Structure 1
Amino acid sequence: MKKILVPVDFSEHSEYALQTAATLAKKHNSSLVVLHMLGLSEAILTKNESDEILEGVFYMKLAEKRFSEFLDKDYLDGISIETTVQNYVHFNEIDKVAQEFHANLIVMGSHGASGIKEVFVGSNTEKVVRTSQTPVLVVKNPVLNFKIKRVVFACDFNLDFVEPFKKAYQFFKTLGAEFQIVYINLPDRFISTTEMKIKAFKFLLHTGIKELAEQEKNIIYYNDYTLERGLFSFSNDFNADVIAIPTHGRRGIAHFFSEKIGETLVNHSDIPIITFKI
């Protein structure tokens, strides 16, 4: 992991992401690219050329000043940092920046005190997750001494998820993390243990990764009433540092989580989530 992109709006949640990215950068000898999006309106961009230049210079200088203050943190000492200001209006363009700088990971802070639906669905973070080819790590709260040693990958062994699974497996393998696959068996989609094992075996076979064949016996089949409760309960029991999930491009990760999620359950889960796009 050579480069980590951190989009910031200079908010408290941006700092959660920055601190998390800094911890990862120090542990894996990575550099940071800190991005601020100006998002200038069409009204500004369609002014005459001289006004546009003056306006652009003003916003660039303002951004540079805020960068100087925002990045004045002890925990950033010793880390190579690049800053970039882009005038993207749409947050889905962050992935273009990640590719331009050859970033291996995007770390984003997200407002979500009232539940995971607010963290992801309809937010700027959701737009990035939905469109990014680069893995996106979402941090809702400050995480002290963040590490990626134990990872839970949630999967229903749908063959659509083979590619994001392979990306996730290789990503965490390079980090030396323990990679635990979990299947949440639900009442309304209940299948027998034998059926789960057959489905998992076929899925791992499609990955083409020989070493994964031995992992079939290590897959956890976890029963619960909802996907969310089962996933978070198991991840907490496992002491996971990160929950990894595959995501469809068009629907984002809203399809993965149901719309009826208990706020209490979600608010008690401080585990960061990382997404891998199909």
Structure 2
Amino acid sequence: MAAQTEGGVLRWFLSGRWQAGISIAVLFSAAGLVPFLAAPLLLNCVALVALVTLQAGRKESFEVLLIAGFASALFTLNPWYGVAFALVAWLPGRLLGEGLQWDVQWGGVVWVVIGLSLLALALSLWVIPRGVGPAFWQTQMEHLLAPARKELSTTQRQVLADMTRLMPGILAAGMALLWTLAALLASRWRERFQGVLVPQRVFRDWVLPDRLIWLLIATLLGISLLHGNALWPVQNLAIVVGGLYLLQGLSFMHLWFASRGWPLFVLTAFYIGLILLSQLLLVIAVLGIVDRVFHLRQRLAGSRS
């Protein structure tokens, strides 16, 4: 019954450009007006745009851009929301939809996520701060933490100051995760719309390209050799590259759990553990690197056969 209900909602959503455009505009406007729900609402916006591109086509995707962009500006009484929708929701969704069409697995989406992550990093490093550099992000963090400043110890302030320098990388890596989830949602929604009950494109098949290891090597060399202001962009690039390999490590963990035939609640417990013990994220990222360098998933498949 739940699957039928979801399929009915998807059919209504995809039945016309106006339904799709207005629905996405409502979600995007709510994301801007309700900050604590911004991430999940934006996730759904991007996934729905990708679904429109994947199922309805490129022309319909442009029509949704016009309708949703205008509606977002109208709902919020702010024309910049229309521009923001085009850049933040529609463009990633459109590219993810193209990536899903390009490859029956995740090859196209992987390259889209890599490209968008590097673009987001470049914007966060140089465009948004308008040349100010780390000082811009430090100022933003000070404004954000001003109400709780008296309650923070000197050590906590120092830790936050160090983290602030890495905000561009953290934001770009976070967006990479959001775009990956959006692609997963769009792919699954399309399968539900087509009546496919068993997922055909699953996260355990997510594989980064081998050549990305050279970017990792260059980043590590840059951290070792550069100093001063030149080091700041490379440090943030390391966060983004680490985030990409974190996705690779999580993909391998999905494959490993599936190879053991363990139930879903075990995987759920694994993610709860990651949330509670965030230090494990580094371990999973290293696992992702080891997987690509030593081809662990091929070895796992060989041991099963």
Q: TM-score, normalised by structure 2?
A: 0.26
Q: Which has the higher contact order (CA 8 A, sep 6+)?
A: 1
State TM-score, norm by structure 1. Answer: 0.28
Higher normalized strand content (fraction of residues): 1
